Chain A
Amino acid sequence: MLSDSNPKGVIVTDKDFKLPSPTEVAVLELLSGKEMYGLEMVKASDRLTRGSIYVILNRMEDKGLVSSRVAETTGPSAGRRIYSSTGLGQRAYAAWQQAQAAFALSWNPGVA
């Protein structure tokens, strides 16, 4: 059910789908339900760094997990991109949460 098309129009199917990496999860967690700039994400998270954030976002955009648009501002900050989670990204995050819950349950079967 995890099929979706990324901005390039490439269909991502269950076969291609991989759980997001921990840094990608950190990004998806921040982007759940809102749009953010890269620097905002770095400031809001302990896991993300200035040096890696745009490389990660670029990779995630290629995978179709996030999408971006150029923010409508003028002046020196013109051209900055604002990021949001795609449908596939949201489902990937949900799948990761379920996997975490299942893993925790397998370690502590008594705790339901």
Chain B
Amino acid sequence: MREHEEQVKHLWEVASNNAKMLKKTQDYLKSLKKQISEVSTALNAETRTLTETEEALLKGALVDIKGLLEEMPQPIRTVGTKTVSKVGKLRGNRNTKSVITSPGSLVLKVAEFLCTKKVYERVFLQAVLDMRGEYNEALSSGRKEKAQWVLIRSYLALTWSVTLQVIEFLLSGPAKIIKTLWS
């Protein structure tokens, strides 16, 4: 348990550092873009106009920076179902601390408690792993809406899986008894 907490702490520190670095880089690029625009305007206002080469260089730099800013991923505001402000606070410590959980964690805990190991591993774990894979894929490509849609769709699919599994369980018991009696 202690080791797990240490791992979570470490991962959170890495993620925090990455997020800080990303924010710093974005801020730097934005300030650079502003400075270039200002220099360009100032030079145009002076007696000397920009040469074609200088203008092309400045325009190229602006396009590059704009492209970089568009390509950079936005800092993620939400992970799973809890807000980032709660990240880094560990459940278990007494200062009302909680940890971010991956989507489907609660479903897995309930399924592990209620189902047999076989059904848990073959049905619910697989469905949740699929959900997480698709969710992470959507988030990493910056499509938050798609990620939300993946969650909704996957939870509906999980509900249907639970229903089918319950029906199978209810049918398999009596069927076995009837078959045994018949034979």
Interface residues of A (CB under 8 A from B): 37-39, 49-52, 54-55, 57-59, 61, 68, 76-77, 79-81
Contacts and interface: CB of A to CB of B under 8 A. Distances in A.
A55 B133 contact: no
Contacts of A39: 130, 133-134
Q: State the majority secondary structure of interface residues on A.
A: mixed
Interface stretch (B2-10, B67-75, B83-91, B120-128): B120-128
B159 interface: yes
Contact of A51 (B126, B129, B136, B157): B157
A52 B165 CA distance: 9
Q: State the majority secondary structure of interface residues on B.
A: helix
Nearest to A77: B133
Contact of A54 (B123, B132, B153, B156): B123
B172 to A, nearest CB: 9
Interface of B: 102, 118-119, 121-127, 129-130, 132-134, 136, 153-154, 156-161, 164-165, 168
B127 A54 contact: yes
Given A38-B127, A52-B160, A68-B122, 5 more contacts: A58-B119, A58-B123, A79-B125, A81-B121, A81-B122
A79 B119 CA distance: 14
A23 B102 CA distance: 31
25 contacts: A38-B127, A38-B130, A39-B130, A49-B157, A50-B130, A50-B153, A51-B164, A52-B160, A52-B164, A54-B122, A54-B123, A55-B123, A55-B161, A55-B168, A58-B119, A59-B168, A61-B122, A76-B102, A76-B132, A77-B129, A77-B133, A80-B129, A80-B130, A80-B133, A81-B122
B136 A54 contact: no
